[in-house]
Amino acid sequence: MKKYNYFLITCISILFSITTASAQDKVAKIALTFETVDSLHVCKAFVTSEGQPVVELPVKLSVKRLFTKLPIGDAIATDSTGVATFEFPNDIPSKDGKLTIFASIVEDENYMDTEVSGEVKWGQIVVSDNSNVDERSFSAGRDRAPIYFIAISLLIIGLIWGTLLYAVLQVFKIKRLGKLEEIKE
Amino acid sequence: MSENINKHETFTQAEYMVMKDDLLRPIEKVGKAGKIWIAFLVAVLLAGVVAYIIQETKSKYVTTSLRDYTMWGIYISNFLFMVAIGLVGVLMSAILKLTNFEWYRPLSRIAEVIAIGAIMFGGISIVVAMGRPDRLLNLLLHGRIQSPIIWDVIGITTDLTACIILLFIPLIPSLVTCKNHLKNLPKWQLKMYNMLSFGWQGTPEQWQILKKTMKTLTALVIPLGVLICTITAWLFATTLRAEWDSTNFGAYFVSNAFLLSVAVMTFATFVFRKAYNLEKYLTEMHFDKLGQAMVLMALIHGYFNINEYLIPAYKMSGLHENTLLNLFVGKEAGFYWSVVIFGIIVPFLLPLFPKMRKPLPLFIISIVVLIAGWFRLYLIVIPGLLHPYLPIQDVPASWTHYFPSAVEMTVVAATFAGVLLVVTLFSRYFPIISVWEVAEGELEGKEEIFNYK
Amino acid sequence: MEKENNNSSRRNFLKLGALGGIALAGTAIASAVTDESTKATGKKVKVLTADGKLVEIDSSLVDHHAANDDYSKEEIRQGIEGKKFIRVIDLGKCANERKCITGCQKAHNILAPVEYIKVKKMQNSPLESPYWFPTMCYHCDNPPCTKVCPVDATFKRSDGIVAMDYDRCIGCKFCIAACPYSARTFNFGRPEQVKFSEEHKNDTSDPNHCSTPYAQEGTVAKCDFCTDRSAQGLLPACVVECPNGAIYHGDELEDVVTNGEDTVRLKKLLADRAGYRQFEELGTKPRVYYLPPVKRDFPFEDATEAQNTKE
């Protein structure tokens, strides 16, 4: 009998954990809105579940970046009307000003993980400056050497090879003179 | 035609004939010893070619001792050595000529040939060190003017061309002498002399052009030679490595080159003197003067050496500490101090004594200086590589030290054989002493050439 | 000289054309992807979520940037547009696990003892504490290596990466001599490596696989910030593999770095934690910052075994 007790207790525990786990099956929907109030960027996440606003639910805000999402501040819980209000900083860099902002519910005991995103032009425009590769320098490519350097190098090379060419021409001059002398004799 | 040769000269026929005989004899006959010597050099050269083929077909990891940290080995230090002795043309033919030191006269052509051989095999030494010699053309197609290697490539080609022209132009009158004097040589050889003599008749106009061109070229080749040597120094000085990050490097390398040039000149002069019985032309006076030149060059190089090593040692900055202590009292101490003693102190001290400036003692000193000079350049390249800024840790044992492999040593030996072969072969086909320049010296009453005992 | 001008003007024209084309393609793809209702392409791509989980998702959900999936020569030289890669390494978190080293080796199909990223034990002075120091190519903004390359085989890109063109390198090893950080390695043709490279030529099985191949024999190789992965928004192998999250990788223009788990703003991180660069006084302007091990997560432990003892 004792054996069966243990078996029963295990079965009931498993069933219990399954039910509590599936209690997470509550689906929450987030509606993300963006407002600008007195030059302050404000994000509002309105969380509903089965038509009813959800209160005291932590919502995380993040912004999409190249490799990952950058979290903005800490998680803020929804207030009595089911809205979590975030202040969004205005110094997040973006190539064209557009930012993709995510509001997400993560690892909450009662609700499934959800995420919703929206695009808004709140980014601080940052233009990538290619001057470090475009400018002429010693580190740059072959076609971007400093002009003074190219000029001086070509000058030196030109002078030296010019002199060598002159010497070779003089040898041919000797040959010509020799031929003349031969004809004379 | 042969009578015309003497039309414009005014010393006795007898004297001139004796001179011609002496100086042209090596071209006429090659004795048994000469043949064995050439065969030996060719054998070493071939061994080097075989070693290089082995290096390229089997992996360099197995055939050379080069590793990630010591990725430059004796190929590079050998290249530095070759460029250094390549300055001998500048020193002997150019500087002495332009400063009216008449004792250059029999030495100038020897110097030029050594310079050409050395620069050629210096370039070969560098190509052997390349990882992808099949992409050599990239240097032309994609070369960056900002790179010191491109400066080096341009410089070496220019210097080689200049030395060849500078060798060839004074050779023209001698070629005609050869053509006329040596009748029983193979036909092709006589034909070659004829072609290369460019219709030389010895007319006053031709002499004028010749002399003027020679003067221009010798003036050009001085800054050119110094520039080449400095550029090879800049291969190291343009990097941030502590051991090479020195403003002194250009002067250090150039002064080293001058010292080694005097040494190699002494070496070659002695060998030719003995091998071709040229005692009358390569006299004891020349060795006396070379010995004095050696003292001067050793002094100058010693000065730059002190600047290079003593002053950083005084400060013992953390950047240099490891390498310097290693050189002065550590693993490489025996090496370093031998190089200083035999490479700087010996050539400075010993030739101060007149007895040491005799041919044989000076010859031995020059050999010692050359060996020490080769190792000096080795000490510049390799110990520095073993003490980078960030410590070497967790690597296989072979990465922490460097000793050249058999393949590397064979190839380097082959480059030496190559230089010697170039010089030897040249001396067998062309007069190694400029006949007319010596005669000219005699002609213009320069007693120095022959009356010195 | 004229030929050089013609070549450079032609090259400039081609560059302009290529850039324009890429910009157009990039905007087209970007706008297509940021639209919520994208069509699934059916091609699966492995990505790292913000919590460090590796998931496989449809490639349409990954924002493909300017680069295509297979590199052409022009693109290697241009760099990924609008990015400037940067790295911050937290020395307080490095415990010499060497997972970054093995991860990098597997991702690039290279064998020990070749290491693009090395972990060194550093101790600045006897009274200071020793610390583990991960070091790799710093992709300097004033690179001493690109200055000396005779054939432009190593070059600085607009995205900050100092790249290697293995097809052009002549193996002169001048860049290795010039690098003060000993960041570069040379392929001497070690027999085991040659065999391995041959066998694993088309092996992309490693989860962190980086498509940049190991250098050809006789050429120079180094860390490339896993260029092709960065183009797809995938973190480099070493960043992913580090169990302590010591390496933060990111885009300077976005002002964000991440180690896979934590994403932080770059400027704030460097300011708060006193980030510095190694050998700043050399003027190389490296793109890797270090955070001094002020508040260590765990005490320093010496290495218990020697690595890379096999030749």
Kindly state whether C182 is in contact with chain B, defined as any CB-CB distance less than 8 angstroms: yes
Chain C interface, mutation test: which of B393, B398, B401, B407, most C Cβ atoms within 10 Å? B393
Cα separation, C161 vs C76, whole angstroms: 10
Rounded distance between C-alpha atoms, residue A105 and residue A103, angstroms: 7
Contact C178 B240 (CB under 8 A): yes
Instruction: For residue B140, give the DSSP letter.
Output: H
- Note whether residue C306 is domain-resident: no
Question: Which residues does B163 contact at the CB level (< 8 Å), separation at least 6?
Answer: B86, B89, B112, B115, B116, B119, B221
In the predicted structure, residue C46 carries a pLDDT above the cut 70: no
Chain C residues close to A92, C-beta within 8 Å: 255
Q: Considering only CB atoms, which chain B residues are within 8 Å of A181?
A: 199, 201, 203, 206
Could you tell me if C246 and C169 lie in one domain?
yes
**In angstroms, what CA-CA distances link B81 with B85, B115, B365?**
6, 12, 18
What whole-number distance in Å separates Cα of residue C258 and Cα of residue C263? 4
Report the CATH number at residue C254: 3.30.70.20
A182 neighbourhood in chain B, CB within 8 Å: 199, 201
Q: What is the DSSP string of chain C?
A: -HHHHHHHHHHHHHHHHHHHHHHHHHHHHHHHHHSSSPPP-S-EEEEE-TTS-EEEEEGGGS---S--SS--HHHHHH--TT--EEEEEETTS-----HHHHHHHHHHT--TT--SSEEEEE-SSTTSPPEEEEE-----SS-HHHHH-TTS-EEE-TTS-EEE-TTT-----HHHHH-TT---EE----HHHHHHHHHTTT---STT---SPPPPTTSEE---TTHHHHHTTPPPHHHHH-TT--EEEEETTTTEEE-SS-EEEHHHHHHHHT-B-TTGGG----SEEEE--SS-SS-----SS------
CB B176 within 8 A of CB A141: no
Query: Which residues of A are less than 8 Å from B196 in CB distance?
Result: none
Q: What is the CATH number of domain A28-125?
A: 2.60.40.10
Q: Which residues of C191-216 are buried (b: 16+ CB within 10 A; e: fewer)?
A: eebbebbeebeeeeeeebbbebebbb
Evaluated on CA atoms C196, C199, C201, C202, the torsion sign reads negative
If pLDDT is split at 50, 70 and 90, which confidence band does C12 have? low
Q: Which residues, in sequence order, are CB contacts of B230 under 8 Å at separation 6+?
A: B250, B253, B254
Res C40 pLDDT > 60: no
Q: C263–A69: do the CB atoms touch at under 8 Å?
A: yes
Chains in touch with A (3+ beta-carbon pairs under 8 Å) read B, C
Task: Please state, in angstroms and as integers, the Cα–Cα distance from residue C257 to each residue in C95, C254, C268, following that order.
Answer: 21, 9, 10
Confidence band of C89 (pLDDT split at 50, 70, 90):
very high
Mention every residue, 6+ apart, whose C-beta is less than 8 A from residue C6.
none
The one-letter amino acid code at B367 reads: I
The average pLDDT across C150-162 equals 91
What CA–CA distance (Å, rounded) separates C74 from B79? 36
Q: How far is CA C154 from CA A137, B328, C145, C151, C167, in A?
A: 15, 37, 7, 8, 11
Instruction: Tokens 């032009």: give the residue.
Output: A121
Contacts across the A-C interface (CB distance below 8 Å): 84
Q: Does A146 touch chain C (CB under 8 A)?
A: no
Cα–chain-centroid distance for residue C171? Answer: 21
* Token pair for A149: 């350097």
B111 vs B267: CA distance, rounded Å = 11
| CA-atom Rg of chain C in angstroms | 20
Report which of residues C72 and C182 the model is more confident about: C182
DSSP string, C242-257: -TT--EEEEETTTTEE
Q: What is the mean pLDDT of residues C68-79?
A: 58
* Amino acid of residue B322: N
Question: Could you tell me the residue range of the domain that residue C60 belongs to?
Answer: 34-64
Structure tokens at B40: 């030996």
- Contact (CB, 8 A) for B98 and B404: no
Provide the residue type at B60 as one letter: K
Check: CB of residue C186 under 8 Å from CB of residue B60.
no
Q: C242: which residues sit within 8 A by CB, 6+ positions away?
A: C93, C97, C99, C100, C259
Q: Do B399 and C190 touch (CB under 8 A)?
A: no
Q: Are C139 and C288 in contact (CB under 8 A)?
A: yes
Residues 6+ apart with CB under 8 A from B422: B113, B116, B117, B120, B121
Distance CA(C203)–CA(C214), nearest Å, equals: 12
Which range has the top average pLDDT, B73-87, B166-180, B307-321, C207-221?
Answer: B73-87
Reported as a pLDDT band with limits 50, 70 and 90, residue C53 is: low
Domain assignment present for C91: yes
The shortest C-alpha distance from C145 to chain B (Å) reads 9
Q: Do A133 and C234 touch (CB under 8 A)?
A: no
Chain A, nearest residue to C142 by Cα: A139
Asked if C308 and B135 come within 8 Å (Cβ–Cβ), the reply is no
Quick check: C147 and B130 CB within 8 A?
no
CA–CA gap between residue C29 and residue C41 (Å, rounded): 13
Q: Which of B149, B172, B153 is nearest to B161 (CA)?
A: B153
d(CA C188, CA C215): 10
Q: Do B60 and C194 touch (CB under 8 A)?
A: no
Q: Tell me the C-alpha distance between A124 and A145, whole Å.
A: 34
Q: What is the pTM of this model?
A: 0.85
Average pLDDT score over chain B = 87
B213 vs chain A: nearest CA distance in angstroms? 6
For residue A133, which residues of chain C lie inside 8 Å, CB to CB? 79, 156-158
Q: Which chains touch B (3 or more CB pairs under 8 A)?
A: A, C
Q: Which residues of A touch B217 (CB under 8 A)?
A: 163-164, 167
Pairing between strand C288-291 and C220-221?
unpaired
User: What phi-psi label fits residue B316: left (phi over 0), alpha (psi between -120 and 50 degrees) or beta?
Assistant: left
Q: Which residues of C touch A (CB under 8 A)?
A: 1, 4, 7-8, 11, 34, 36, 48-50, 79, 81-84, 141-144, 146-147, 152, 155-158, 230, 233-235, 249-251, 253-256, 258, 260, 263-265
List CB contacts (< 8 A) between C1 and chain A.
154
Q: Which of C120, C172, C187 sits opposite B149 (nearest CB)?
A: C172
Query: What is the C-alpha separation between B91 and B172, in angstroms, rounded?
Result: 22
Q: For chain A, list residues whose CB is within 8 angstroms of any CB belonging to chain B.
A: 138-142, 145, 149-150, 153, 157, 160-161, 163-164, 166-168, 170-179, 181-182, 185
Q: Which of A139, A152, A157, A161 to mutate to test the interface with C (most CBs of C within 10 A)?
A: A139
Determine the pLDDT at residue C36.
40
Q: What CATH fold (topology level) applies to the domain B3-134+145-449?
A: Formate dehydrogenase/DMSO reductase fold (1.20.1630)
Chain A hits for C250, Cβ within 8 Å: 65-67
Number of domains in chain C: 2
The helix or strand, by DSSP H or E, that contains position B205, with its residue range, turns out to be helix B204-237
Contacts of C279 in chain B (CB under 8 A): 389
CA A125 → CA A64, A93, B168, distances in Å?
15, 6, 68
Q: Is residue C134 a contact partner of residue C104, using CB atoms and an 8 Å limit?
A: no
What is d(CA B295, CA B282) in angstroms, rounded to the nearest whole number?
Answer: 20
How remote is the C-alpha of C280 from its chain's centroid? 20
Q: Does A8 touch chain C if contact means CB atoms closer than 8 Å?
A: no
Residue B238: what pLDDT? 94
The answer to whether the CB atoms of A185 and B4 lie below 8 A apart is yes
Q: Decide if B209 and A140 are in contact by the 8 Å CB cutoff.
A: no
CA separation for the pair B1, B172 (Å, rounded): 16
Q: Which residues contact C161 (CB under 8 A, 6 or more apart)?
A: C79, C85, C139, C224, C225, C227, C230
- In this structure, which amino acid lies at residue C39? K
C102, C206 contact by CB (below 8 A): no
Are residues C157 and A133, on separate chains, in Cβ contact within 8 Å?
A: yes
State whether the Cα torsion B374-B376-B379-B381 is positive or negative: negative
CA distances from A67 to B67, B362, C143, C250, C260 (A): 36, 72, 26, 7, 8
At position C4, the amino acid (one-letter code) is: E
Rounded mean pLDDT of C82-88?
Answer: 90
Distance to chain C for A47, nearest Cα, Å: 20
CA distance A73 to chain C (A): 11
Statement: residue B105 has pLDDT above 80: no
Task: Please tell me which of the candidates C152, C177, C217 has its beta carbon nearest to residue B142.
Answer: C152
Task: Please check the confidence at residue C41 and state whether its pLDDT lies above 60.
Answer: no
Between chain A and chain B, the number of residue pairs with CB atoms below 8 A apart is: 81
Q: Are residues C235 and C131 part of one domain?
A: yes
pLDDT at B447 over 50: no
pLDDT digit string (tens) for B220-273? 888 999 999 999 999 999 999 988 989 999 999 999 999 999 999 999 999 999
Task: Note whether A131 contacts C: Cβ–Cβ < 8 A.
Answer: no
The 10s digit of each residue's pLDDT in B354-397 is 988 999 999 999 999 999 999 999 999 999 899 999 999 999 99
When CB atoms are compared, the residue of B59, B144, B149 closest to C194 is B59
Question: Which chains sit next to C, with 3 or more Cβ pairs under 8 A?
Answer: A, B
pLDDT in tens, chain A (185 residues): 567 777 888 788 777 776 665 555 678 888 888 888 888 888 888 888 888 888 888 888 888 888 888 988 888 888 888 888 888 888 888 888 888 888 888 887 788 888 888 888 888 888 777 777 778 888 888 888 999 999 999 999 999 999 999 999 998 888 888 887 777 76
Q: What are the phi and psi torsion angles at C61 (to 5°)? A: -85, -10
Using the Cα atoms of residue B193, residue B197, residue B198 and residue B199 in order, give the sign of their dihedral: negative
**pLDDT for the residue B174:** 81
Does one domain contain both C59 and C94? Answer: no
Judging contacts by C-beta atoms under 8 Å, the chain C residues touching residue A139 are 142-144, 146-147, 156
The span from the CA of B244 to the CA of B380, in Å, is 8
Question: In angstroms, what separates the C-alpha of A134 from chain B's closest C-alpha?
Answer: 16
Q: Where are the domains of chain B?
A: 3-134+145-449
Q: Is B235 on the interface with C (CB under 8 A)?
A: yes
Contact check, Cβ <8 Å, A157/B206: no
Pull the structure tokens for residue C224: 């490339």
pLDDT surpasses 50 at C90: yes
Same domain for C131 and C182, yes or no, is yes
**In a 3-state reduction of DSSP, which class is residue A50?**
coil
Structure tokens at B382: 């390799």
Same domain assignment for residues C44 and C146: no
Does the beta-carbon distance from A177 to B213 stay under 8 Å?
no
The partner residue sitting opposite A132, judged by closest CB among C81, C156, C249, is C156
